[in-house]
Amino acid sequence: MAGEPKQTAPEDEAAPSAATPSPPSAAPPAAAAPEEGWETRFKYLFADFENFRRRVDRERDTARDQVRADLLRGLLPVYEAALRAREAVARLGPSDPVRRGIDLLAQEWQAFLDGARVVPVARTGGRFEAERHEAVAEAPVSATHPEGSIVEIVQQGYRMGSVLLRPAKVVVARAPSGTSASAAAAPSDERTAE
């Protein structure tokens, strides 16, 4: 057919290559040169393999830590629900079976998180750290709460080792700013003058 490419037989392919002269071969290298080339190539190949193995190990460890962190992030609300249930049944007598069951549940959750090295990141009175805390509100500075300290924990944050699972939502003590108050008052004065 006119539109189809012409197929060549294997004999046709072999014939032109046999007809073209091959370049003259170089003189055989000295006996020591091939051995040095082989040793050098082996050293480079071995170093590349070691680097690959280390990189795969690091990536596997990182992936494992990420999966653990994702799992623990999902379990944090369940742990906090157990703590709230413990607070709710605190008014019941110590021998009440519901209170004993909720206390046992909260203790098991705490043991699980301790085993996973999960620790809270905020404490009342501690310093505010933007890397681990999220300020959701401000409170006036007092004698017990200097500027930049945590007044209240709205939602506790947690970390697993060096991995932050969830930042803490906190109320931070701040002194009122005189410049922002006077700047905010100036535009309103202009509006009333018009």
> Digits of tens for pLDDT over the chain (194 positions)?
555 555 555 554 444 444 555 555 555 555 544 556 888 889 999 999 999 999 999 999 999 999 999 999 999 999 999 999 999 998 988 889 999 999 999 999 999 999 999 999 999 989 999 899 999 999 998 888 888 899 999 999 999 988 999 999 999 999 887 644 344 444 444 444 44
For residue 150, is it within any domain?
Answer: yes
For residue 164, is it within any domain?
Answer: yes
For residue 177, the model assigns a pLDDT of 73
Q: What is the pTM of this model?
A: 0.60
How does DSSP classify residue 122? -
For residue 168, is it within any domain?
Answer: yes
d(CA 148, CA 142): 11
Cα 171 from chain centroid (whole Å): 25
For residue 59, is it within any domain?
Answer: no
For residue 149, is it within any domain?
Answer: yes
Q: Distances in Å between the alpha carbon of 71 and those of 26, 106, 141, 160?
A: 64, 18, 38, 11
Q: Are 170 and 152 a contacting pair, CB within 8 Å?
A: yes
d(CA 150, CA 127): 6
d(CA 102, CA 115): 20
d(CA 194, CA 140): 35
For residue 40, is it within any domain?
Answer: no
For residue 193, the model assigns a pLDDT of 44
Mark residue 102 as left, alpha or beta (left: phi above 0; alpha: psi -120 to 50; beta: remaining): alpha
| Residues 161, 166, 170, 176, CA torsion sign | positive
> Count of residues for the chain?
194
The number of distinct structural domains making up the chain is 1
For residue 63, is it within any domain?
Answer: no
Q: Range of 133's domain?
A: 119-177
The type of residue at 113 is: L
For residue 172, is it within any domain?
Answer: yes
Q: Are 160 and 120 a contacting pair, CB within 8 Å?
A: no
Task: Kindly report the CATH number assigned to the domain that includes residue 129.
Answer: 2.30.22.10
